[in-house]
């Protein structure tokens, strides 16, 4: 049984939500997608929050959601790509859980990400994604307790994630 939250971090398109949801289901663990949690409480999509209230309001909601989830039964929590960039959020993650980085190469992300659903990638998506990658990856790597490569097949990465959750975190 998990004793602490497991936070999945990584770039947009790295597989945090799909792999996290599937691994949690296979292991009988609670799963939360932070963006979805925020959307349900706000009654609007992340894109609409960005458009109507701005990124600052979304980031504030993100920190509030992360703090609220510290009281939830330990499980797997998929975080948005920018969540780890806030020092307050990093402190919450380090204090209340363990952090797993899903490390997907930029070229793989570029080949299959749907940018129209990503508020920060609306203009010049390839250039913006490269900038985000260069800015975020050093922070992700420093924060991560475990780095899982996600350069191969989906099922291969899923098996690796499940194994880490079982062996390291006793899921």
pLDDT the model gives residue 127: 83
What pLDDT score was predicted for residue 120? 53
Nearest to 31 by CA among 42, 18, 41, 40: 18
What pLDDT sits at residue 115? 54
- Across 17-27, b (16+ Cβ under 10 Å) vs e yields bebbbbbbeeb
pLDDT of residue 108: 87
Domains parsed from the chain with CATH numbers: 5-166 (3.40.50.300)
Token digits of residue 118: 């990503």
Task: Report the pLDDT value the prediction gives residue 123, as an integer from 0 to 100.
Answer: 67
Q: Are 103 and 14 in contact (CB under 8 A)?
A: yes
Digit-by-digit pLDDT tens for the chain (171 residues) are 899 999 999 998 899 999 999 999 999 999 999 999 999 999 999 989 989 999 999 999 999 999 999 999 999 999 999 999 999 999 999 999 999 999 999 888 877 766 555 555 556 767 888 898 999 999 999 999 999 999 989 999 999 999 999 999 998
Cβ within 8 Å of residue 1, ≥6 positions away: 74, 170, 171
pLDDT of residue 113: 67
């Amino acid at each position: 049984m998990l004793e602490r939250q497991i936070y999945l971090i990584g770039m947009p398109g790295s597989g945090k939500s799909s792999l996290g949801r599937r691994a949690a289901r296979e292991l009988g663990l609670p799963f939360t997608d932070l963006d979805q949690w925020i959307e349900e409480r706000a009654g609007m999509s992340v894109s609409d929050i960005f458009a109507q209230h701005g990124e600052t309001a979304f980031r504030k909601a993100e920190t509030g959601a992360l703090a609220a989830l510290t009281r939830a039964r330990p499980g797997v929590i998929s975080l948005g790509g920018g969540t780890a960039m806030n020092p307050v959020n990093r402190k919450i993650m380090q204090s209340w859980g363990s952090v797993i980085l899903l490390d997907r190469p930029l070229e793989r992300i570029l080949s299959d990400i749907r940018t129209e659903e990503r508020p920060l990638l609306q203009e010049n998506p390839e250039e913006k994604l490269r900038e985000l990658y260069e800015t975020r990856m050093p922070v992700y790597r420093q924060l991560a307790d475990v780095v899982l490569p996600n350069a191969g097949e989906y099922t291969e990465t899923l098996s690796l994630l499940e194994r880490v959750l079982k062996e390291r975190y006793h899921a």
